[in-house]
């Protein structure tokens, strides 16, 4: 368990949360997290990219233009084979939560893994002791999921993030990043099959908007390193295609990736204004993952279900209000809520056209709120609007008639 943060760490975490929240309007990848490059005719290498911070891809709308795609292109160009890179993570991932992100996402089909995390932990002044413990668990998780003999490339923490948004704390954060790097270097040396690679020099990009030029510099040395640790072999086992337990969830997730969920965004805007919260979201819960298909903040496209309250709402098919997440034993140690600086949660179920509970309409706020401030009947009314929007979406995409919502008269 992570140690309790001190005053300086709390200040750093709040500063990070405020910066993170301001990014809510920035473009980021929402498409499929697997990018293929080159010709697989003679085989294809598979690389697992576990990353946050710059590895996530702020400022571009597709993983192909982010480090995921650039790494795939670089490896394919050097080998003459196909290359498939699968991204696991998000800007909201830390060393503490990364093993949860990996559940169900790592298998024996990968030739190697690249781990590029640490920016969030440096900016939040994660203690060296916590970082060492959490990174050790992560490296063990990755090593056990990969085939025997597959290598792990551990990338150092770049400096560009520190000076770009929080200039007054820049020197302190850089020093912390170097301390964390020293731990990562030592852990890599003691982990079978792990290789530590120094962070790229990105000082020339400080102050520039995130984009493909920055990500090309970030990835620059990685393709050569990956080719060297993979060797001449290529994976023959391909991953299972992305699966969903409910077709309505698939339809909504695909619509989100296509940017065609404006009706949900309108509902969320009105809900935020009505309840006075920093963020509202419509989520789909499926196969152990929570998909943020519409939201007003910086929520990742998907997170492991244990990191949210939404899975609790779906499992119980009942509203959930948590006045103070820090004081609820179910969420007090939740790394995702901590990173998002969320202290209040309220959620109510949303349903597929067949009546099955498949997600939530939820509210998040940076400060605790009394449960009495949330009129659950009003929240349920917003959720019914979401149900209707999902029903119309499924009907449009499938061309099939869907049942009337409860309380409506069938034609």
Contact, 52 vs 161, CB < 8 A? no
Is there a single domain that holds both residue 306 and residue 225? no
218-225 average pLDDT score: 94
Domain count, the chain: 2
Contact, 386 vs 354, CB < 8 A? no
Strand pairing report for 289-295 and 302-304: antiparallel
Evaluate whether residue 363 is within a structural domain: yes
Q: For the chain, give me the number of helices (H) and strands (E)?
A: 14, 12
Q: How many residues does the chain have?
A: 411
- The H-or-E segment that residue 365 falls in is strand 357-365
Choose between 356 and 256: higher pLDDT.
356
Confidence of residue 165 (pLDDT cuts 50, 70, 90): very low
Evaluate whether residue 239 is within a structural domain: no
207 burial class (0-12, 13-18, 19+ CB within 10 angstroms)? exposed
Distance between CA atoms of residues 404 and 353, nearest Å: 8
- The H-or-E segment that residue 319 falls in is none
Count CB atoms within 10 A of the CB of residue 22. 12
Distance between CA atoms of residues 247 and 324, nearest Å: 35
Name the token pair of 166. 């929080």
Checking if the pLDDT of 162 tops 80, the result is no
pLDDT at 411: 36
Is there a single domain that holds both residue 188 and residue 256? no
Confidence of residue 342 (pLDDT cuts 50, 70, 90): confident
pLDDT at 245: 87
| Domain C-terminal end among 230, 263, 289 | 230
Is there a single domain that holds both residue 127 and residue 59? yes
Distance between CA atoms of residues 74 and 47, nearest Å: 12
Checking if the pLDDT of 410 tops 50, the result is no
Q: CATH number of the domain that 302 lies in?
A: 3.30.450.40
Confidence of residue 13 (pLDDT cuts 50, 70, 90): low
Choose between 186 and 24: higher pLDDT.
186
Is there a single domain that holds both residue 72 and residue 216? yes
Checking if the pLDDT of 236 tops 60, the result is no
Is there a single domain that holds both residue 286 and residue 325? yes
Q: Measured on CA atoms in the order 49, 55, 58, 64, is the torsion positive or negative?
A: negative
Confidence of residue 134 (pLDDT cuts 50, 70, 90): very high
Evaluate whether residue 236 is within a structural domain: no
Name the token pair of 132. 């060492």
pLDDT at 25: 65
């Amino acid at each position: 368990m992570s140690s309790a943060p001190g005053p300086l760490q709390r200040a750093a975490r709040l500063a990070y949360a405020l910066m993170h929240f301001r990014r809510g309007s920035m473009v980021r990848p929402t498409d499929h997290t697997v990018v293929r490059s080159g010709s697989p005719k003679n085989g294809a290498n598979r690389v697992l990219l576990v990353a946050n911070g710059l590895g996530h891809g702020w400022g571009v709308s597709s993983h192909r233009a982010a480090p995921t795609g650039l790494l795939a292109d670089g490896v394919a160009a050097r080998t003459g084979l196909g290359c498939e890179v699968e991204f696991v993570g998000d800007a909201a991932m830390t060393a503490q939560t990364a093993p949860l992100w990996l559940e169900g996402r790592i298998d024996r089909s990968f030739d190697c893994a690249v781990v590029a995390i640490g920016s969030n932990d440096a900016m939040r002044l994660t203690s060296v002791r916590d970082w060492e413990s959490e990174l050790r668990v992560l490296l063990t998780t990755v090593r056990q999921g990969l085939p025997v003999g597959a290598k792990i490339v551990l990338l150092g923490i770049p400096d560009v993030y520190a000076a770009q948004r929080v200039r007054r704390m820049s020197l302190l954060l850089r020093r912390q990043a170097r301390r964390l790097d020293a731990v990562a270097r030592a852990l890599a040396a003691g982990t079978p099959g792990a290789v530590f690679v120094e962070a790229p020099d990105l000082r020339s990009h400080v102050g520039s908007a995130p984009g493909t030029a920055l990500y090309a510099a970030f990835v620059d040395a990685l393709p050569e390193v990956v080719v060297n640790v993979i060797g001449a072999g290529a994976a023959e086992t391909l991953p299972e295609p992305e699966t969903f337990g409910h077709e309505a969830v698939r339809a909504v997730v695909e619509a989100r990736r296509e940017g065609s969920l404006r009706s949900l965004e309108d509902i969320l805007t009105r809900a935020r204004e009505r309840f006075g919260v920093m963020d509202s979201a419509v989520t789909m819960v499926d196969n152990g993952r929570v998909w943020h298909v519409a939201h007003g903040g910086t929520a990742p496209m998907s997170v492991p279900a244990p990191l949210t309250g939404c899975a609790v709402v779906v499992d119980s098919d009942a509203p959930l209000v948590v006045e103070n997440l820090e004081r609820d034993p179910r969420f007090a140690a939740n790394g995702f809520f901590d990173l998002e600086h969320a202290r209040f949660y309220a959620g109510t179920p949303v349903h597929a056209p067949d009546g099955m509970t498949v997600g939530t309409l939820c509210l998040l706020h940076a400060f605790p709120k009394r449960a009495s401030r949330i009129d659950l009947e009003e929240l349920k009314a917003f959720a019914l609007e979401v149900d209707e929007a999902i029903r119309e979406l499924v009907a449009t995409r499938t061309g099939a008639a869907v049942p009337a919502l409860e309380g409506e008269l069938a034609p």
